[in-house]
């Protein structure tokens, strides 16, 4: 009966408001104390401990798509999988996102074809 049925689960655990419920205006950028999310797919703002918004979700989606289309790798990001390396991995992700532009990545990929 359910052989062609799929279930899609969405986790809104990290969801945040982006509109002030009293004024109806977009919330201003704000510093947050705790990093939430995945360092590989996080936006530069998120790596700088800024409150995330819809733009950061789109950036994360783009990083994820690049990851899928690039043999499960992102340029200049190679993590070690131990808990002791968390700070090192954070620096690697942040530096890679500062120093690598999308246009550089596209030109690197097209020259290898």
Q: How many domains does the chain have?
A: 1
The strand pairing partners of 74, in sequence order, are 77
Question: Along the 113 residues of the chain, how does pLDDT read in single tens digits?
Answer: 678 888 878 777 777 788 889 999 988 888 989 888 888 888 888 888 998 888 888 888 888 888 888 888 777 677 666 666 777 777 878 887 777 765 655 555 555 44
For residue 32, what are the domain limits? 15-102
Distance of alpha carbon 78 from alpha carbon 45, whole angstroms? 20
Helix (H, G, I), strand (E, B) or coil at 14: coil
68 domain residue, yes or no: yes
CB atoms near residue 46 (< 10 Å): 25
9 domain residue, yes or no: no
CATH number of the domain residue 82 falls in: 1.10.510.10
6 domain residue, yes or no: no
95 domain residue, yes or no: yes
Q: What angle do CA 101, 103, 108 make, to 5 degrees?
A: 100
Evaluate whether 76 touches 61 at the Cβ level (below 8 Å): no
């Amino acid at each position: 009966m359910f052989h062609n049925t799929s279930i899609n689960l969405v986790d809104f655990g990290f969801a945040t408001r982006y509109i002030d419920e009293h004024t109806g205006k977009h919330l201003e950028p704000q510093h947050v104390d705790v990093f939430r999310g995945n360092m590989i797919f996080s936006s530069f703002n998120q790596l700088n401990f800024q409150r995330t918004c819809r733009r950061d979700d789109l950036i994360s989606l783009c990083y994820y798509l690049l990851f899928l289309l690039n043999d499960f790798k992102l340029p200049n990001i190679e993590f070690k999988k131990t808990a002791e390396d968390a700070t090192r991995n954070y620096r690697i992700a942040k530096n890679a996102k500062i120093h690598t532009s999308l246009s550089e990545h596209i030109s690197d990929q097209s020259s290898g074809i």
